[in-house]
Amino acid sequence: MRSSSAAHVVAHGLVRRFGDLTAVDGIDLDVGEGEIFGFLGPNGAGKSTTVRMLVTLLKPSAGSASVAGFDVASQPNEVRRRIGVALQDAAIDPLMTGNESLRLQAVMQGLGGRPGQQRAGELLERVGLTEAGDRRVGTYSGGMRRRLDLALALIHKPSVLFLDEPTTGLDPTSRQAVWEEVRSLNDEGTTVFLTTQYLEEADQLAGRIAIIDGGTIVREGDP
């Protein structure tokens, strides 16, 4: 699903250096509103570094990028209000229940009291965790944790969702469940920026892909 009305994720000459190492070397991106965009590459290619710049966790060393019309370097708070982020190494407190995690995230996004509680319940149902909502996260399987992570990223109804390798290490059934949820979100109008190592995943979900290797984009087009 893609609209030509606006580009939701744009990068021009984006660079990130760590000392003498150039992890991302002058890449250009143009992701349209309502699109599922696949970002592929091997470990160490620069995928996660690129995402961390786009979601305002790292400042670019050079170049520029905007998400939902706001500059990631000069308007990070505006960007954060409009994005959901599910990173591969996201830390979820294992001693909290799924419901508690979602309600805390709701409060952090300005949804306290009954609205936050209602939103948490909606999202637990959405990702198939209602029955596990009062269990501690430490008892969740890998697939359940990834689905909870996805729910946490959706608490404030973001217009752009960044998923960093959302199905790594999952069994086929859990992977399929995540795929179905991503398709459903996209059908509702959410723009999805998906990083993955799996060609099959990109082929199943993405309308367009870019392949990054050695910090530069080497191919771009449909899967």
Residues of the chain scoring pLDDT < 50 = 1-5
- For 118, phi and psi rounded to 5 degrees? -65, -45
pLDDT tens for 28-43 read: 999 999 999 999 998 8
> Rounded CA gap, 38 and 221, in Å?
10
Q: Which of 40, 43, 51 is nearest to 16 (CA)?
A: 51
Q: What is the DSSP letter of 69?
A: T
Say what the pTM is: 0.89
pLDDT at residue 20, rounded to an integer: 95
pLDDT digits (tens, 9 = 90+) for 139-153: 998 888 888 998 999
Query: In whole angstroms, what is the distance from residue 147 CA to residue 181 CA?
Result: 9
* pLDDT confidence of residue 214: 95
